[in-house]
Amino acid sequence: MRIGILTGGGDVPGLNPCIKGVVYRAVEQGVDVVGIKRGWAGLLNYDPSATDHSECVMPLNRQNTRIIDRTGGTVLHTSRTNPAKVRPSEVPEFLRTSSHKDIPKDERLDLTGHVLKVIDHIGLDALITIGGDDTQSYAVRLHREGVPVVAIPKTMDNDVFGTDYCIGFSTAVTRSVGFITSLRTVAGSHERIAIVELFGRNSGETSLVSAYLAGVDRAVISEVPFNPDKLAEFLAEDKRTNPSNYAIMTISEGAQMVGGAIIESGPEDAFGHRKLGGIGIETSEYIKRKLNTHTVYQQVAYLMRSGEPDALDRMVAFSYANLAADLLFRKESGKMVALREGKYTTVPIETLTTGIKRVDVNELYDTERYRPKIANMLGKPMFLY
Say if strands 126-131 and 2-7 run parallel, antiparallel, or are unpaired.
parallel
b/e burial code for range 69-97 (CB count within 10 A of at least 16 → b): beebbbbbbbbbbbbbbbebeebeeeeee
Say if strands 149-153 and 365-366 run parallel, antiparallel, or are unpaired.
unpaired
H-type helices in the chain, by residue range?
A: 15-28, 41-44, 62-65, 112-122, 133-144, 169-190, 205-214, 228-241, 279-291, 311-329, 361-364
Residue 157 falls in the annotated catalytic set:
yes
Query: What is the full DSSP assignment across 220-243?
Result: E-TTS-B-HHHHHHHHHHHHHHST
- Residue 316 CA to residue 294 CA, distance in Å, equals 42
Nearest CA-CA partner of 151 in 325, 1, 314: 325
DSSP code for 274: P
C-beta separation of 179 from 173 below 8 A: no
Annotated catalytic residue: which of 11, 69, 133, 157? 157
Which residues, other chains included, contact 378 with Cβ-Cβ below 8 Å and sequence gap of 6+? none
Nearest CA-CA partner of 8 in 96, 113, 140, 174: 140
C-beta separation of 152 from 328 below 8 A: no
- The counts of H helices and E strands in the chain are 11, 15
C-beta separation of 340 from 357 below 8 A: no
Other CB atoms within 10 Å distance of the CB of residue 52: 7
Which residues, other chains included, contact 283 with Cβ-Cβ below 8 Å and sequence gap of 6+? 195, 220, 228, 231, 251, 257
Name the residues annotated as catalytic: 157
